[in-house]
Structure 1
Amino acid sequence: MTFGSRVRDIRKQKNITQEKLAKKLDFSHASAISFIENGKRRLDAEKIPALADALGVSIGELFFTQKVVKMTTGELEEKEND
């Protein structure tokens, strides 16, 4: 899965239009979002935190499809002993 397709999937899951996302990122045209989603334009690195915030996800979730499971030390030790 490409970065652009991941952005598109998250945007659609959150019911955010390209127009609304473009405004949140201070782009003058929604086509900028389309270009990013289709791999025709790269997003500047400094815009990535703003994109994650606008989509309501972590930066990690923009790049990875699986969520990282957090375990306490006790839970981890218990799992290792099974």
Structure 2
Amino acid sequence: MNTTNTFGDRVKELRKQKGMNQEKLAEVLFLESKSTISSYETNRRMPAADVLAGMAVALETTVDYLLNGEIEKNETINQALLILQQLSPELQKVALEQINILNRL
């Protein structure tokens, strides 16, 4: 995955890598039209936090990468972040508690 210059560039690149058109991504994110995705990809708008989180899951990346273009170098951390993003807030809390327990060992 190449680091690109803008949020919109990163969204477009990842969407294409997934073989999705704008309409399909809009559908996955429960947005009304592909024009919303177009406005994100051209940097005219930024998504709300809930849409951004869903976008990261749909594009199998992290919110940090979408916003900042930064890719965590540790693949284990990348995988853990992707899994955590897909959990409900309650399960995220449980998972973090378990990580803290492991960290104390």
Aligned counterpart, 1:41: 45
Check if 1:19 corresponds to 2:36: no
Alignment correspondent of 1:61? 65
Quick one: which amino acid aligns to residue 42 of structure 2?
N
- SS across alignment from 1:49: helix
Give the total of aligned pairs: 71
Backbone CA RMSD of aligned residues: 1.8
Greater fraction of residues in helix = 2
Secondary structure, in 3 states, of the residue corresponding to 1:68? coil
C-alpha offsets along residues 32-56 of structure 1, whole Å, 9 cap, x if unaligned? 1001100112211221110011112
Structure 2 match to 1:6: 10
Identity %: 35
Partner of 2:95: none
Amino acid at match of 2:16: K
The runs of 5 or more residues in structure 1 that have no matched partner are 72-82
The one-letter amino acid of 1:70's match is: N
Q: Secondary structure at the match of 1:26?
A: coil
Unaligned 5+ segments in structure 2 are: 76-105
Higher relative contact order (CA 8 A, sep 6+): 1
